[in-house]
Structure 1
C-alpha cells in the first residue's frame, strides 16, 4: 500500500512538471511576435538588425525631412542627434505627428530604410516616450526639465 501511494505521488509530480513545461512553451510561442525591442537611431546605424527582425525605433522627426508622396506613403527621417534613419510609412499618421516632434515606430529595417507598420506620436505637449527621452539624453540632444515639461526648442 505504501509503495502505491509513493508511485502515485511521483506520477502526479511528473504530470504536473510536463503540464508546466508545455504551458511555458505555448506562452513563449504565442509571444514570439509580440515582443519588440526598442532601438535608438544610433544603435540601428551602428549595428543594423536583420530584415526579419521587428523592432521599435524612436527619436525626433528631423526638420525638413517629411515628404508626403503619392497616395498614403510618407517618408521622413528620425534622429536622436547622433544618427539619422530614413523611414517610410504607408497609412494615416497621428494628428500630432510633425517635424521636430517625438515619435516611436514599429517595423523592419530593409536595405537601410525603416519600413514602419505603426507610428505613434506624443499625445500632448509634455509627453515623450521614456525610451526616446533616454536615447536623446544619451546623445546630448535633449535635456529633461525639473518640472517634467519639455524644454522650449
Structure 2
C-alpha cells in the first residue's frame, strides 16, 4: 500500500511539474513575440482611438492625392486615407518603386504627436493587388472600387 501511495505522489509531482513548465514556456513565447505582433488599423480607427506612442502597429489605405512631399535626403511626408479620415505620415528611407498617390499602401510604425512615424512602407505590387486589410477599411468607408475586369 505504501508503494502505491508513493507512485501516486510521484505521478502528481510529474503532472504538476509539466504544468508549470508548460505555463513557463507559454509565458516566454508570449514575451518573445510581443514586439512581432503588429495590429492593423485604418486611418479612421487611428483618429477615433489614437494609440499610445509606444505601440507599434500597421496602418493602411490610399496615399492621399496632393499630399506627397519629398524633403531633404530620404525624408518623405504624405497622408494616408481611407476616405473617412486622413493621417499624416513621415518616413525616412527609400520608398517602393510602385509607391504613388491614389495607390494602396501599408506602413508599420508608431503614432507620435498626431503623426504616424513609419519604419517600413509597403506598396501594392501590381495594378490589381491591394492588401485585404486596406480593401476592408476602404469598403467600410464606402470608397472602395472594384478593379475593372481584365486590368
TM-score (ref. length: structure 2): 0.95
Q: Which residue of 2 aligns with 1:24?
A: 26
Give the alignment partner of residue 103 of structure 2, picking from 57, 80, 101: 101
Q: Which residue of 2 aligns with 1:128?
A: 130
Measure the CA separation in 2 of the matches of 1:124 and 1:145: 12
Q: Which residue of 2 aligns with 1:10?
A: 12
TM-score (ref. length: structure 1): 0.93
Is the 2:128–2:147 contact (alpha carbons within 8 Å) kept by the matching residues of 1? no
Measure the CA separation in 2 of the matches of 1:7 and 1:83: 63
Measure the CA separation in 2 of the matches of 1:124 and 1:61: 16
- Given the alignment of the two structures, is residue 67 of structure 1 paired with residue 69 of structure 2, yes or no? yes
Q: Residues 100-119 of structure 1: matches in 2 within 5 Å? A: 100-119=102-121
Q: Which residue of 1 aligns with 2:93?
A: 91
How many residues are matched? 149
1:126 CA drift (Å): 1.1
What residue ranges of structure 2 are gaps of 5+ in the alignment?
Answer: none
Measure the CA separation in 2 of the matches of 1:52 and 1:74: 22
- Given the alignment of the two structures, is residue 51 of structure 1 paired with residue 53 of structure 2, yes or no? yes
Measure the CA separation in 2 of the matches of 1:38 and 1:26: 24
Is the 2:91–2:119 contact (alpha carbons within 8 Å) kept by the matching residues of 1? yes
Deviations 1:65-116 (A, max 9, x none): 1111001100000000001000000001111101111000000111100000
Aligned-residue Cα RMSD (Å) equals 1.4
How has the CA–CA distance of structure 1 residues 146 and 97 changed in structure 2, closer, same or farther, with 3 Å as cutoff? closer
Measure the CA separation in 2 of the matches of 1:123 and 1:8: 59
Deviations 1:35-65 (A, max 9, x none): 1111100111111111111111000001111
